[in-house]
Structure 1
């Protein structure tokens, strides 16, 4: 449940994985991560998968926030997280930290 899930096309082809980097923390937040095969990048698959994972997470009573981290140079991943409604909450020389809180 709080591990990795496969990302698949509608015809059942595995094109990547997505999931949680552990159970909800003390703040009731979960961190997500994802990766797709290069042939499936820039086609909307990552955005759709991230949005679905966040929706699922927010259906769980023990989750009030979703976190993510991406390299500051990864423009494609930055766009995915922005489209999924995450906002930048911090950064360092290498990474941008992201967060989206559950609407109640």
Structure 2
């Protein structure tokens, strides 16, 4: 796939070399990618998830096509990530996740990135289901999912020690409105 482009953003495939560089440090990612990287990226949750991603990508390099760095074109800067978990090639399903560094939040960047990714995902023959989970308390994430056409699935709520996790499903047979 390589990259997707919107008016303000590039969604760039997060390849094996860049994953390794991120683990080594932001300066290394800047060196190998050619992009400036926000000093607040990656967030703590994504950073601790990276060794797991690295191991999976080493085994199955084609998995990188599902995860992208979000680059703000005006600044040539990595400000977040967006992508999917799981093995869509096998399951036909993809669970989406995303994050934007705090300094760039509330500017519509995640919504813009998600809508572009959804267009691409709907054209992938192996994808039959797109969904996302969010904490019920994460109103920002829920707002992004609603704007992007996801439908809340209340019967699928789960409660854990951190709060209620809600499930959102993207209707594959309809266009994003």
TM-score normalised over the length of structure 2: 0.54
Q: Secondary structure at the match of 1:20?
A: strand
Kindly name which structure, 1 or 2, has the bigger radius of gyration based on alpha carbons: 2
- Between the two proteins, the alignment pairs up a number of residues equal to 102
Please give the alpha-carbon distance, in whole angstroms, between the structure 1 residues aligned to 2:129 and 2:116: 14
**Unaligned 5+ runs, structure 2:** 1-64
Higher RCO (Cα < 8 Å, 6 or more apart)? 1
Q: C-alpha deviations, 1:10-44, integer Å up to 9, x for none? A: 23211000111122253x22110001100111110
Higher helix share: 2
Conservation of the 8 A alpha-carbon contact between 1:64 and 1:101: no
Higher strand share: 1
Please give the alpha-carbon distance, in whole angstroms, between the structure 1 residues aligned to 2:121 and 2:131: 11
**Which residue of the partner structure matches residue 91 of structure 1?**
157
**Unaligned 5+ runs, structure 1:** none
Q: Which runs of 4+ in 1 moved over 3 A?
A: none
